[in-house]
Amino acid sequence: MINPLYESFPEKIRVNDKEYSIITDFREWIRFADMLADEELTAEEKVLAAAQWLNDPPEYISEGIIMALISFYRADALDPEMPEGEQADGAEEPRRPPVFSYKYDAKYIIGDFLRYYGIDLLTAEMHWWQFRCLMAALPDDSVCQKRIAYRSADISKIKDDAERHRIMEIQRRIAIPYEMTDDEISAVFEV
């Protein structure tokens, strides 16, 4: 785990004692997520495409490089609850609809960053992990956080019929089509 208050965000990934310089711009990592979710690409094509996020890719993209890129994408080293390199336990959780999407929530992300941080994401230069930190810190009254709260609301726990129907209607309007989980992203490269 790193502490971004006094440690720099990484510019490289390390695999088997070798460092690889990577692209760190937040837009590129949103594009990485889109590439992983692209159902028209095969696993082999995704492995080859992943080389685009290395500044000087080797001829062979190893499983270690892929796993390091995925770890960078997930910003594992920023998560105090999951030490770097560890995976979540194998317990199967029920599949839930997605509550957030860079694609479907893009205009709200742009608006929230401008409103709360004064950052115009259309012109900003920002490291992927800085972007992730700022996303996580958006206040509860931000549009993004409200959309997440509505999408994740458990309507079975809402007693009032009118309120339950109101929330269900909002959930229907802002629902996100299927997107991949972090575990599914990791599984993409298992060839």
Q: Are residues 84 and 111 in the same domain?
A: no
Tens of pLDDT, residue by residue over 99-130, are 898 999 999 999 999 999 999 999 999 999 99
Total domains, the chain: 2
Residue 156, in any domain of the structure? yes
Which of 13-27, 54-68, 69-83 shows the lowest mean pLDDT across its residues? 69-83
Q: Are residues 162 and 127 in the same domain?
A: yes
Residue 4, in any domain of the structure? no
The shares of helix, strand and coil residues in the chain, as percent rounded to the nearest 5, are 50, 5, 45
Q: Are residues 145 and 119 in the same domain?
A: yes
Q: Are residues 125 and 78 in the same domain?
A: no
Banded model confidence at residue 176, pLDDT cuts 50, 70, 90: confident
Banded model confidence at residue 84, pLDDT cuts 50, 70, 90: very low
| Predicted local distance difference test score (pLDDT) of residue 188 | 58
Q: Which domain holds residue 164?
A: 106-174
Residue 169, in any domain of the structure? yes
For 186, the token pair is: 């990791």
Q: How many CB atoms lie within 10 A of CB 142?
A: 19
Q: Are residues 85 and 119 in the same domain?
A: no
- Angle in degrees, 0-180, between the axes of helices 26-37 and 63-74, rounded to the nearest 10: 120
Residue 99, in any domain of the structure? no
Residue 6, in any domain of the structure? no
Residue 98, in any domain of the structure? no
Mean pLDDT of the chain: 88
Distance (Å, whole) CA 176 – CA 99? 7
Residue 97, in any domain of the structure? no
Residue 2, in any domain of the structure? no
Q: Are residues 37 and 83 in the same domain?
A: yes
Global pTM? 0.80
